[in-house]
Structure 1
Amino acid sequence: MKVITSREFNQDVSAAKRFARTEPVFITDRGKPTHVLMSIASFRAFSGERESIVDALAAAEPFDLDLEPGGW
């Protein structure tokens, strides 16, 4: 578990996101935890939520269709 201050978070959001890929990041305000940043995969595992078909289709690799007129 990584703990960062809200000031550190505001100064380097990218670093917080990198940390959150591997473990939850607790963000503190005046020394008290106020938020938790985690990857979507970690959140889904924590909440028991499964990937929806919409998420799966959105993540699918694009592909080209070679549709020639009369080529069916």
Structure 2
Amino acid sequence: MGMTSLTSRELNHDVSKAKKAAEDGPVVITDRGRPSHVLMTYEQFERLTGKRRNLIEALSMPGLSGIDFDPPRSVISTREVDLS
């Protein structure tokens, strides 16, 4: 994953170039030579912010159909309680 840097002027002149560059990694937008913003794909943003998936979404991700998942069954037993 590479990082690209563009000036605000370059971004304004060619937004599609910036969006394509964001596919390979974050794009740092500079204003007067100083970093001011970061452009990234929404998928990268979700990974960065730690969006949680539910179990159904996680198991339906592409490429996971070939993984065997057979967890051992839990055995839960009761025990006597002394309330004296």
Q: Place the TM-score, normalised by the shorter chain, in its bin.
A: 0.5 to 0.7
Aligned partner of residue 35 in structure 1, secondary structure: strand
Offset at residue 51 of structure 1 (A): 6.0
**Alignment map for 1:27-66 (pairs within 5 Å):** 27-50=29-52
1:12-70 deviation digits (Å, cap 9, x = unpaired)? 00000000011000000000001000000100001101469xxxxxxxxxxxxxxxxxx
Q: 1:44 to 1:30 in 2, by over 3 A?
A: same
- The one-letter code of the counterpart of 2:43 is A
TM-score, normalised on structure 2? 0.58
Q: Which residue of 1 aligns with 2:77?
A: none
Unaligned runs of 5+ in 2: 55-84
Q: Equivalent pairs: percent with the same residue?
A: 52
- Report the count of equivalent residues: 52
User: What is the CA RMSD across the aligned residues, in angstroms?
Assistant: 1.5
Could you say which structure has the higher helix fraction?
1
Structure 1 residue runs of 4 or more that deviate by more than 3 Å after TM superposition: none
AA paired with 1:3? Answer: S
